Amino acid sequence: MKLKDYAKPPSHHKSKPVLFLLITAGFLCLAAICFFVFNRWEIELTIHGEDDVSIEYMQNYEDPGASAIYRSTMLPFIREEVDVKVASNTVNPEKTGHYLITYQAEHNNVTASRSRNVSVVDTTPPTITLTENPDSYTPFNHEYQEEGFAANDIHDGDLSEAVEREVRDDEVIYTVKDSSGNKAVKKRKIRYDDRKGPELSFPDGTDLVLYKGTPFTDSFTAVDDCDGDVTSKVTVEGSVNTDVCDTYTLTYTVSDSHNNTTVATRNITIRTKPINNPATSDGPKTIYLTFDDGPGESTGRLLDILDRYNVKATFFTTSMYGYTDYIIQEAQRGHTVCVHTYSHNYASIYQNTDAYWSDYQAQKDVIEQLTGTSNNLFRFPGGSSNTVSANYSTGIMSKLVDQAYEKGLVYFDWNVSSGDAGSITDTNVIIDNIRNGISRNAAAGVPSIVLQHDYKSFTVDAVEPVIIWALENGYTFKTLSDTSYYVHHGINN
Ligand SMILES: [Zn+2]
């Protein structure tokens, strides 16, 4: 009975766990079905940092990257990190523009993609650099003189040429824009000042030599860079007595309205005429033919012409053309050989008095060596009135004339210019010039000292017709000496 009882369990006792198992299994099945039906697998792609990034031109860009997670939509704890690939153009910071960086991830055939905008922009304005000299200034009433400027842009390079300048009252405004529209402005304060005294000038030359009794008229001007003509403000100390031979120093003082003072001195030398011009002994029908700058190629021909008429001339010689042997001929055939210059180089002989006299001596030595003798007559290159010497030394002619007298030398200029030193090359014009000059002098009662250059063939051609004409008209030819008639031009330097 016990066994029977055992073998016959109550029906409701037997069905409960089975039902439970069935229901559980049913649920699991349903859940599984739901999962397979409704679950999706997805990749969550996260961009690190901003989606839109701006970086400055030339600034390095480092991408912060992105990360991705593969996961279930229904059971988010089921997840797995997956790799992100960057598939796009790289950012070039040396080129402005927009760049797109694209990130992609893939896992079990699920993909995701996102992108980020990176803009390379130029927001840096150009740099303007001003050249500034602490010593420079703009004189009052003067326009500002640009000291210099430059503009440089990180993107466009040198923009100096694009700078616009505006001068306003006491400042200069410099403006420039780069190609991205970034603008730079720089200002410069103009320093107005006056640090320079007026400039004194003497139109007749700084140092003057005057013959005794010649009236002296003081002549000067003073000009200031800010005030203009201030000649009326000049005060002069000292005086000149033109009746007493001496050297007088005059001191000129002038100030401008900003108290800049200029002081200048000049020496006025009063001198007696060294020799009395014995023009009376040389009548107006006397002709001195003088030839400068030779000997040259045509000198031999000239000597033959002179011999033919037994006319003696005066040669102011040089050593320029390599025909110095003619100097021997000139002396032997009765002509007077004098010094003109050794080199005839204005720049070197007129740089100072020592240079002048050493050049003079060099030519004198040449003459002495060739002829065994020399004299005290000479002619200044350019004549005593030349102004070319002022390019090299102010007042040098006045000094040289003084020194010539001290050395016992006699210099000669001329009163008939043949014109052969300029552009004239026509022999007939030379002949006319000489004849007219001689006739004019004779009419005025003075002898003629004719200037020609014997290294020039066309002027040598004029000599014979002139001699024939002169002889036919009662003239006589002489050579210069230290007691002959002389001509001195005014001294201009
Ligand atoms: Zn000359």
Find the CATH number of the domain harbouring 151.
Answer: 2.60.40
End residue of a domain, out of 177, 193, 209: 193
**Single-letter residue type at 422:** G
Q: Using the mean position of ligand 1's atoms as its centre, give its distance from the Cα of residue 286 in Å.
A: 23
Q: 256: buried, middle or exposed (CB in 10 Å: 19+, 13-18, 0-12)?
A: buried
Question: Domain with 52 in it: what CATH number?
Answer: 2.60.40.10
**Whole-angstrom distance, CA of residue 291 vs CA of residue 294:** 7
- Per-residue confidence (pLDDT) for residue 82, from 0 to 100: 95
Look at strands 149-153 and 157-158 and give their pairing.
antiparallel
Please indicate, yes or no, whether residues 171 and 224 belong to a single structural domain of this protein. no
In a domain, 49, yes or no: yes
Q: Using the mean position of ligand 1's atoms as its centre, give its distance from the Cα of residue 382 in Å.
A: 6
Q: Using the mean position of ligand 1's atoms as its centre, give its distance from the Cα of residue 357 in Å.
A: 16
- Per-residue confidence (pLDDT) for residue 121, from 0 to 100: 95
Please indicate, yes or no, whether residues 188 and 204 belong to a single structural domain of this protein. no
Please indicate, yes or no, whether residues 360 and 429 belong to a single structural domain of this protein. yes
Q: Which residues of 279-314 are buried (b: 16+ CB within 10 A; e: fewer)?
A: beebebebbbbbbbbbbbbbbeebbebbeeeebbbb
**Tokens of residue 330, six digits:** 């000139």
Q: Using the mean position of ligand 1's atoms as its centre, give its distance from the Cα of residue 118 in Å.
A: 84
Q: 73: buried, middle or exposed (CB in 10 Å: 19+, 13-18, 0-12)?
A: exposed
In a domain, 20, yes or no: no
In a domain, 145, yes or no: yes
Please indicate, yes or no, whether residues 253 and 114 belong to a single structural domain of this protein. no
Q: Using the mean position of ligand 1's atoms as its centre, give its distance from the Cα of residue 144 in Å.
A: 47
Q: Using the mean position of ligand 1's atoms as its centre, give its distance from the Cα of residue 315 in Å.
A: 11
Q: Using the mean position of ligand 1's atoms as its centre, give its distance from the Cα of residue 186 in Å.
A: 60
> If DSSP codes are grouped into helix, strand and coil, which group holds residue 465?
helix
**Whole-angstrom distance, CA of residue 358 vs CA of residue 341:** 10
**Whole-angstrom distance, CA of residue 493 vs CA of residue 489:** 12
Q: Using the mean position of ligand 1's atoms as its centre, give its distance from the Cα of residue 277 in Å.
A: 24
Please indicate, yes or no, whether residues 400 and 471 belong to a single structural domain of this protein. yes
Q: Using the mean position of ligand 1's atoms as its centre, give its distance from the Cα of residue 414 in Å.
A: 12
Q: Using the mean position of ligand 1's atoms as its centre, give its distance from the Cα of residue 317 in Å.
A: 9
In a domain, 1, yes or no: no
**Tokens of residue 484, six digits:** 């002959």
Please indicate, yes or no, whether residues 353 and 254 belong to a single structural domain of this protein. no
Please indicate, yes or no, whether residues 87 and 154 belong to a single structural domain of this protein. no
Q: Using the mean position of ligand 1's atoms as its centre, give its distance from the Cα of residue 344 in Å.
A: 7
Q: Using the mean position of ligand 1's atoms as its centre, give its distance from the Cα of residue 426 in Å.
A: 20
> If DSSP codes are grouped into helix, strand and coil, which group holds residue 286?
strand
When divided into structural domains, the chain yields a total of: 4
Please indicate, yes or no, whether residues 300 and 252 belong to a single structural domain of this protein. no
**Whole-angstrom distance, CA of residue 475 vs CA of residue 490:** 28
The closest of 298, 307, 293 to 342, measured between CA atoms, is 293
Q: Using the mean position of ligand 1's atoms as its centre, give its distance from the Cα of residue 380 in Å.
A: 8
Contact predicate 477/313, CB 8 Å: yes
- Other beta carbons within 10 angstroms of residue 450's beta carbon come to 25
Contact predicate 367/318, CB 8 Å: no
Q: Using the mean position of ligand 1's atoms as its centre, give its distance from the Cα of residue 492 in Å.
A: 17
In a domain, 180, yes or no: yes
Q: Using the mean position of ligand 1's atoms as its centre, give its distance from the Cα of residue 438 in Å.
A: 21
> If DSSP codes are grouped into helix, strand and coil, which group holds residue 304?
helix
Q: Using the mean position of ligand 1's atoms as its centre, give its distance from the Cα of residue 400 in Å.
A: 16
pTM recorded for the entire structure: 0.48
Query: What does the DSSP 8-state code read for residue 71?
Result: E
Q: Using the mean position of ligand 1's atoms as its centre, give its distance from the Cα of residue 381 in Å.
A: 5
Secondary structure of 154-215 as H, E, C letters: CCCEECHHHCEEEEECCEEEEEEECCCCCEEEEEEECCEECCCCCEEECCCCCCEEEECCCC
**Tokens of residue 486, six digits:** 């002389």
In a domain, 407, yes or no: yes
The closest of 407, 385, 430 to 482, measured between CA atoms, is 407
How confident is the chain (493 residues) per 10-residue block, as mean pLDDT? 48 73 91 89 94 93 93 89 86 92 94 95 96 89 92 95 93 96 96 93 79 83 94 96 90 96 92 55 90 96 96 97 95 98 96 96 97 95 94 93 87 94 93 96 92 96 97 96 86 88
- Per-residue confidence (pLDDT) for residue 2, from 0 to 100: 45
Q: Using the mean position of ligand 1's atoms as its centre, give its distance from the Cα of residue 465 in Å.
A: 24
Please indicate, yes or no, whether residues 312 and 420 belong to a single structural domain of this protein. yes
**Tokens of residue 86, six digits:** 């960057």
CA–CA distances in Å: residue 466 to residues 303, 308, 421, 487: 15, 13, 18, 21
| Largest separation between any pair of C-alpha atoms in the chain | 201
Give the Cα-Cα-Cα angle 181, 185, 190 (nearest 5 degrees): 160
Q: Using the mean position of ligand 1's atoms as its centre, give its distance from the Cα of residue 293 in Å.
A: 5
Look at strands 138-139 and 192-193 and give their pairing.
parallel
Please indicate, yes or no, whether residues 78 and 108 belong to a single structural domain of this protein. yes
Domain hosting residue 138, numbered range: 127-193
- Per-residue confidence (pLDDT) for residue 492, from 0 to 100: 87
Q: Using the mean position of ligand 1's atoms as its centre, give its distance from the Cα of residue 70 in Å.
A: 108
Please indicate, yes or no, whether residues 85 and 131 belong to a single structural domain of this protein. no
**Whole-angstrom distance, CA of residue 220 vs CA of residue 206:** 9
* Site of tokens 């060099």: 362
In a domain, 483, yes or no: no
**Whole-angstrom distance, CA of residue 123 vs CA of residue 188:** 24
Question: Domain with 309 in it: what CATH number?
Answer: 3.20.20.370
In a domain, 267, yes or no: yes
Please indicate, yes or no, whether residues 218 and 312 belong to a single structural domain of this protein. no
